[in-house]
Amino acid sequence: MKFAVIVFPGSNCDIDMYHAIKDELGEEVEYVWHDAEDLSGYDGILLPGGFSYGDYLRCGAIARFSNVMKEVVKAAGEGKPVLGVCNGFQILLEAGLLPGAMQRNTNLKFMCRTVGLRIENNETMFTNGFVPNETIKIPIAHGEGNYYCDDETYEQLKENGQIAFTYAGTNPNGSRGDIAGIINEKGNVLGMMPHPERAVDALLGSADGLKLFQSIVKHWRDSNVVTA
């Protein structure tokens, strides 16, 4: 499976993402600059964390208009897995690929620590390697991770099984319903604030995040099995 790590001006977790895919997952991966106009050669699209375009206006608001985002939207429409982590999640929200919006953390502070996540739906292409209600340890590093949506959207997220992860224990940022990650209705776009790419080896304090990337590959291989 071949992944694209999209690099925006201000991205700072692109190297972490590249390492997770190449060295820990053992799959093919390339950096793709924000002005790229073709993602057809990639099987999965990864939007890393950071401060795209300096987080001016709103987090992800400018990155949403990068040339490459037309291709990201196209890839999502084709059913390819698209993962946005932290700033990548914010960009997906700004692009309308996921519902809702991000607000400042309720304590108005940047937070960087490991938190517990509960698997709310393990029947997605991103979570099939987990067991129902499993709790994992994944780092967070954000100042605007307070996910918000209106009542109608929140009920739809619950009814459709679109809430992939919630914070287990203390909610670090005030996000609605303790939401840490959501998927689109089609199930192939995931946005999450915690950083699974920073939890792919025990030396990092947790290898729980590796299961997410392994889940993507498993789904892709199962979907591309050629029968005689």
* HEC profile of 76-109: HHCCCCEEEECHHHHHHHHCCCCCCEEECCCCCC
Report whether pLDDT(228) > 50.
Answer: no
Q: Report the number of distinct structural domains present in the chain.
A: 1
Cα distance between the two ends of the chain: 21
Q: How far is CA 204 from CA 13, 16, 44, 131, 208, in A?
A: 15, 11, 24, 22, 10
Q: Is residue 148 part of a domain?
A: yes
pLDDT at site 20: 98
Lowest mean pLDDT among 26-35, 38-47, 52-61, 124-133: 52-61
pLDDT at site 90: 98
How far is 75 from 45, CA to CA, in rounded Å? Answer: 8
pLDDT at site 79: 97
Backbone angles phi, psi at 141, to 5 degrees: -160, 85
Q: Is residue 216 part of a domain?
A: yes
Report whether pLDDT(224) > 90.
Answer: no
Average pLDDT, the chain: 96
Q: Is residue 170 part of a domain?
A: yes
Backbone angles phi, psi at 221, to 5 degrees: -70, -40
pLDDT digits (tens, 9 = 90+) for 53-98: 999 889 999 999 999 999 999 999 999 999 999 999 999 999 999 9
pLDDT at site 227: 45
Q: Report the residue count for the chain.
A: 228
Backbone angles phi, psi at 166, to 5 degrees: -130, 160
pTM score of the predicted model = 0.96
The domain in which residue 82 lies consists of 2-223
Q: Running DSSP on this structure, what letter comes out for residue 19?
A: H
pLDDT at site 131: 95
pLDDT at site 195: 98
Mean local confidence (pLDDT), 153-176: 97
Residues with a known catalytic role? 86, 195, 197
Q: Is residue 92 part of a domain?
A: yes
How far is 144 from 147, CA to CA, in rounded Å? Answer: 8
pLDDT digits (tens, 9 = 90+) for 171-192: 999 999 999 999 999 999 999 9
Q: Is residue 52 part of a domain?
A: yes
**Cα torsion through 64, 4, 139, 212, rounded to 10:** 120
CATH number of the domain encompassing residue 41: 3.40.50.880
How are beta strands 101-103 and 111-119 bridged, if at all? unpaired
pLDDT at site 57: 85
pLDDT at site 110: 96
Report whether pLDDT(214) > 50.
Answer: yes
Amino acid sitting at position 223: S
Q: Is residue 228 part of a domain?
A: no
Mean local confidence (pLDDT), 24-46: 97
Q: Which three-class secondary structure state does DSSP give residue 18? A: helix
The two tokens of residue 176 are 């609605």
Report whether pLDDT(41) > 50.
Answer: yes
Q: Is residue 127 part of a domain?
A: yes
Q: Is residue 61 part of a domain?
A: yes
Report whether pLDDT(226) > 60.
Answer: no
